[in-house]
Amino acid sequence: MKIDRRSFLSLAAGVAAGTALTPLPLKLTDDLSIWTQTFRYMPNEVPVPPDGAVSVATSVCSLCPGGCGISVRKIDNRAVKIEGRQGYPVNNGGICTLGLAGLQLLYGPWRVQEPLKKKEGGFEKISWDQALSEISGRLNDLRRNGKSPSVAAITGAGQNTTGRLLQRFLTVFGSPHFIRIPAVDDSLAFAAGRMLGTAGVPAFDFENSSYVLSFGSGLLDGWGSPVRMFQAHSRWKENGATLVQVEARLSNTAAKADVWVPVKPGTEATLALGLAHVIVRDGLHDPAIEAAGKAFDAFRELLKSRYAPGAVARQTGVEEPKIEKLARDFARSPRPVAVCGKGAGQDPVESLEAMAVLALNALAGGFNRSGGVRINAAPDYIHWPEPEGSAAQKSNGTRLDVHRLPELINGGAQPPVQALFVMEANPLFTLHGAPALAGAVDKIPLVVSLSSYMDETAAAADYVLPVHAYLERYEDVLITAGLKEPLVGLSRPVVKPKFGSRHAGDVLIDLARAMGDDVAAAFPWENFEDCLKQTMADKWDVLSDQGYLAETGPEIPAGGMNFAALVESAELQPPGQGENGAWPLTLIPYDSMRLWGGHIGTPPFVLKTVADTVLKQADVFVEVNPVTAERYHLADGRPAFLETPAGKARVRVHVTDGIAPDVIAMPRGLGHAAYDDYLAEKGVNINALIGPVEDPVSGLDVAWGVKAKLTTA
């Protein structure tokens, strides 16, 4: 039978009639409508997370030295919200942007998920057993060949149990090169050691101060324990306290201060001593200090000869009457306090500056009184038996400063460092002269990074050993960051580890075990948790129950302050750099609560809060005063080349009155090469443009500003 037009139409009619008699039209319509509602397979699909039991876990945030208590809301084993912990002594319920965005550091795509080994053009995944046996094998080879002192370790973890385990590992291995990334605390402790005989960290009682004199400290830009500083700021408003910010840039702190004193970068110590001059000259100082202090006359002589207001005004750019007024206001205020540590306080300062600040506090009678300062000896709760046998050998070597690494490595034919461990630190990004350090690290035959993230240093390592993220692990957190009373906080696992990571402490214990004999014997603990509990011993219960331990040591009186150390430092201090035609500007970095310049990369949520006068797409802005802009023909928003003796970069110009003429400023924390798409290749790493500057007294790298020039692109 032939199908003609009529039969075909009839067939179609039959199909239509038949279809109408089936559930298909209704069902298909319904299914399609649900499909459109859920929009699976679309890139913008909003995931609906699974349901589960709600619980709240408490811990301590260890993302910055602040050590805030946190409460983490969980659904089953999933952390969904981080909040400040109510009643915790540091932050009492407060939290900062980074702490709030911490979940992205837990679940972010840049976590290292299993041990990696460098191979041609990338990394290959290897097992923990293989990684540890290969590394321990190479270390044992070095040891057998008498090259123990050629092993170095860099860490940001410092003095807590994990940091001390790394230090112990190096010691029993026979190397003195345990390097902590230094911060302003080290400068202050050094100054306190020289002037007071105890290298303790000063604690500032900001809350009760009546007059806060800050030498460039970003008290509201991430300095010390940031959340605590915000709360202290509220107290100042309530109490009518005065905040004076000495800084060339209108930072958040300067903007909120009662008095903003723009000063030439690098002359903070001069200004501090200029103020001391006025105080001593006018007899406004605490007489007890003069009576008991050592070498006070030499100090008075120094102030008289070198720090008269006229000379100080010329060097610092602060007018003479202003210096006089500042000095008198400071000294006459009932409970004044002076503080230093630029930006977030993550950089050491010149010894002279740290000493001058201690001296100012002493002159104001601020030691050991409410609203003043007290020096706390480093908390002392880690007591392990001395290692025995060959591990007990005293290593004969000198301290290695991290900023010296390039010099040392590039100097000799064979790198003096044969193996480098990096733990919870990202020196290839955070240290001044980062590119030179990267070149040097490249020459070290064995580089091991213990890191949760694929940061710049991990990317350059031969082995990356993934450690638990901060919400997955136990950690004693030493909170000294300027707190009134130093605390030991307890970070504890909030969620089960998500990937194949391990605790850094466990890695060190396992590595020691793999190395055998006396090295293994010096690490007798079953695992890190066991080690921590044994270390804390009878303090563990309190630490575990309340989440912190107050570790206040005995008071150190300021009466016997030795001013000779200060006078000596002033003699050693090189004269300030003069005008230099080739480099007419001074570039300074700045910190803020929206960008994190430390070893933790800024998570996407926080990066979203950065204004587009700081970062626009991939371009970073350099702040330029209108006067400077006019002189060098720079227009707002236009691209420019920024050049320093250390390097060159393409930037954009942001013309603003919030920066002194001839000074230009750029944020820290941008210009990552590693991490993820959100952070990498955005802006410029300012640390690559600044070379290290060694303090002649402490030997620490104290670079802050650098000579620079800016030309239109």
61 binds, among ligand SF4, another protein, none (CB under 5 to 8 A by kind): ligand SF4
To ligand SF4, the closest distance from the beta carbon of 221 in angstroms equals 12
Do the bridges between strand 116-119 and strand 336-343 make them parallel or antiparallel, or are there none, so unpaired?
A: unpaired
**Nearest-approach distance from CB 21 to another protein, in angstroms:** 6
Contact assessment for residue 672 and residue 604, using Cβ atoms and an 8 Å cutoff:
no
- Are 572 and 203 a contacting pair, CB within 8 Å? no
23 binding partner (options ligand SF4, another protein, none; Cβ < 5 to 8 Å by kind):
another protein
Q: Which is nearer to ligand SF4, 95 or 195 (CB)?
A: 95
Residue placing its CB nearer to another protein in the complex, 10 or 712 = 10
In 3D space, the residue among 26, 58, 22 whose CA is nearest the CA of residue 547 turns out to be 58
Angle between helices 268-281 and 320-332 (to 10 degrees): 70
Could you give the string, one character per residue 626-665, with x where binding to another protein holds by CB under 8 A and - elsewhere? ----------------------------------------
Give every CB contact of residue 164 below 8 A, 6+ residues apart in sequence.
382, 384
Tell the smallest beta-carbon distance from residue 593 to ligand SF4 (Å). 8
Cα Rg, the chain, nearest whole Å: 29
* Contact predicate 620/666, CB 8 Å: yes
CB of 7 to another protein, least distance (A): 4
* Token representation of residue 556: 């150190």
Q: Supply the DSSP string of 386-431, one letter for each residue.
A: PP-GGGGPPP------GGGHHHHHHHSSS-S-SEEEEES--HHHHS
Nearer to ligand SF4, 214 or 267 (CB): 214
Pairing of strands 619-624, 336-343: unpaired
What the block records as the tokens of 298 is: 């030499």
Query: Least CB distance from residue 54 to another protein, whole Å?
Result: 6
Instruction: Provide, rounded to whole angstroms, the least separation between the CB of residue 602 and ligand SF4.
Output: 11
Contact yes or no for 40/81 (Cβ under 8 A) = no
Least separation in angstroms between residue 98's CB and ligand SF4 is 4
**Residue 35 site contact among ligand SF4, another protein, none (CB < 5 to 8 Å, cut-off depends on kind):** another protein
How would you write 305-355 as a 3-class SS string?
A: HHCCHHHHHHHHCCCHHHHHHHHHHHHHCCCEEEEEEEECCCCCCCHHHHH
Termini Cα distance of the chain: 82
The answer to whether 451 and 422 have CB atoms below 8 angstroms apart is yes
By beta-carbon proximity to ligand SF4, the closer residue of 91 and 535 is 91
- Choosing from 11, 550, 572, 618, the residue that interacts with another protein (CB under 8 A) is 11
Quick one: 8 or 499, whose CB is closer to another protein?
Answer: 8
Which residue lies nearer to another protein by CB, 13 or 627? 13
Q: Give least dist CB 52 to another protein, A.
A: 8
Site for another protein in 19-78 (CB under 8 A): 19, 21-24, 26-28, 30-32, 34-35, 37-38, 40, 48, 51, 53-54, 76
- How many angstroms separate the CA atoms of 504 and 523, rounded? 14
Distance CA(20)–CA(26), nearest Å, equals 9
95/419 with CB nearer ligand SF4? 95
* Tokens 């997370």 found at: 49
Q: Whole-number minimum distance, CB 78 to another protein, in Å?
A: 12
**Cβ 371 vs Cβ 347: under 8 Å:** no
> Which lies closer to ligand SF4 via its Cβ, residue 222 or residue 661?
222
Task: Build a one-symbol-per-residue string for 74-113: x at contacts with another protein by CB under 8 A, - elsewhere.
Answer: --x-------------------------------------
Positions touching ligand SF4 (CB under 6 A) are 61, 63-64, 66-68, 91, 95-96, 98-99, 226-227
- Binding track, positions 558-597, relative to another protein; x by CB under 8 A: ----------------------------------------
For the bound state, the minimum distance from the C-beta of residue 58 to another protein, rounded and expressed in Å, comes to 18
Q: Strand ranges (DSSP E) for 126-170?
A: 151-155
User: Which part of the chain contacts another protein (CB under 8 A), choosing from 16-24, 146-154, 270-278, 588-596?
Assistant: 16-24
Per partner kind, with CB cut-offs from 5 to 8 A, the member of ligand SF4, another protein, none near residue 67 is: ligand SF4
Give the length of the chain: 713
For residue 40, the partner it binds in ligand SF4, another protein, none, with Cβ less than 5 to 8 A by kind, is another protein
For the bound state, the minimum distance from the C-beta of residue 69 to ligand SF4, rounded and expressed in Å, comes to 9
Helix (H, G, I), strand (E, B) or coil at 631: helix
Q: Which is nearer to another protein, 31 or 301 (CB)?
A: 31
Sign of the Cα torsion 536, 538, 544, 546 reads: negative
Complex with another protein: residue 1 or 42, whichever CB lies closer: 1
Residue with smaller CB distance to another protein, 10 or 711: 10
- Residue 473 has phi, psi (to 5 degrees) of -145, 160
Using the minimum distance from each CB to ligand SF4, give the nearer residue, 63 or 303. 63
CA distance 613 to 654: 7
- Give the list of residues 6+ apart from residue 6 with CB closer than 8 angstroms, or none: none
Query: Which entry of another protein, ligand SF4, none binds 145, CB below 5 to 8 A by partner kind?
Result: none
Phi-psi label, residue 11: left if phi above 0, alpha if psi -120 to 50, beta otherwise: alpha
CB nearer to another protein: give 12 or 80. 12
Rounded Cα distance between 592 and 610, Å, is: 10
Tabulate helix, strand, coil % of the chain (nearest 5).
Answer: 35, 20, 40
Two tokens, residue 345: 């306080």
Q: Quick one: tokens of 313?
A: 């005004």
Q: How far is the CB of 224 from ligand SF4 (least distance, A)?
A: 9
Backbone angles phi, psi at 588, to 5 degrees: -120, 145
Looking at 7-15, 142-150, 514-522, 605-613, which segment touches another protein (CB under 8 A)?
A: 7-15
User: Could you tell me how many residues of this chain bind another protein (CB under 8 A)?
Assistant: 37
Least distance to another protein from the beta carbon of 70, Å?
Answer: 21
Give which of ligand SF4, another protein, none residue 96 binds (C-beta under 5 to 8 Å, depending on kind): ligand SF4
**Site residues for another protein per CB under 8 A:** 1-4, 6-8, 10-19, 21-24, 26-28, 30-32, 34-35, 37-38, 40, 48, 51, 53-54, 76
